[in-house]
Chains A and B, each alone.
Chain A
Amino acid sequence: MKRIVLVLIGVFWLSLAAWPADQEVVDVSVSGLACPFCAYSVEKSLGKLPGVDSVSVDLAANQVRVVMQAEHTADLKQIKKAIVNAGFTPGEASRSTAQE
């Protein structure tokens, strides 16, 4: 019986460790972005922010997606500042969560 309890506890902890963590996702509209080479500047600028896991640009949709590392919260002000620093104009931003 003791062995079964230990196995169950082990399985419980393993399942907790494997449980996907939530990641915050920020979608920002960007104006002035109209070529692939410019898109990379935005990716670079946002990628330097602390806690950013990944950045992706959808040119045709005029959207940039910033995925934060688990346990990190997005700072919208910093994200918009990074877009301005890359030479472009940020617009509306929305937050959501995704599982790692």
Chain B
Amino acid sequence: MFDLPTIWAGLLALVILIYVILDGFDLGIGILYPFFKKGEERSTAMNTVAPVWDGNETWLVLGGGGLLAAFPLAYAIVMPALYVPIFLMIFGLIFRGVSFEFRWRDPAHEKIWDSGFFGGSLLATFSQGIVLGAFVQGIEVENRAYSGGWFDWLTPFSLFTGLSLACGYSFLGAMWLIMKTEGSLRDRLYKLSVPLMLIVFLLTAIVSLWTPFLSPDIYVRWFKMPTLLYLSPVPILAAFLAWRIYANLKQRNDNSPFPLALGLFVLSYAGLGISIFPYVVPRAITVTEAASPDSSLGFMLIGAVIFLPLIFIYTGYSYWVFRGKVKSGEGYH
């Protein structure tokens, strides 16, 4: 049951989940940028993530490198298949990444890097959503290689997951900022957050209902007994979390909505996992088929066991150092 390929499938799933929730909130802040006042409010919003965004994005590098290492065949099939959205994501990440520094270096052209931050965040997120949708809907494989065209990823479903992820990240970003800021910026976010939550909920529901109809295989997985019984708590729990977020937003408890929103992301992610496992390229290549030999996976597992706890400790420490509200005008700049 717990052979090395399965362990690594689990670890990689964890890495991607960590990436989604961590970079999720800081990409979300970028997407929300047009809603903030130019200058001060935008600076404060950016400063809440300036010390941590780079660490957050490193999980994406680990996701790519880890997939290459643990499931090279899957990596070799998925990347060419998702060529266009992967590159769009990277271009987006370039613009929003440099904006963190450039925005402070060039006050005369703050506008350029405000748009770079917004546009880059939106493009990266939308592309990630497309990658997700295109991945779930399946990839054509022949003879250990991708055999489709370079626009196969483009479907109504993948565009819809792109849109949904953009709204999801914005929601996460809004919850983060409510926790980290005060004053006019926080007020603005409180106003924004309830409609945003409703939209996210609606989109998530549509994606969840749409997914089983993408292929009979997923359909069977979701709607056969006893799986249906095991799965039934997922939507119930999600509804509960949504209600808690709503109540906390109404009472203006700054600190509770963000962790609760993370819970929502974890639930959706688990649902996704159920639709995919044991495939690593949906409905074409399984975890076992794509896995590197045990000599690779075992060697890497040693590294993961040593380094992941250390990473959690010092990353946690860094978040702790920068805990609490970010006052406007803080930063080294």
Partners in one complex: no
Give me the interface of A with B, judged by CB distance under 8 Å. Answer: none
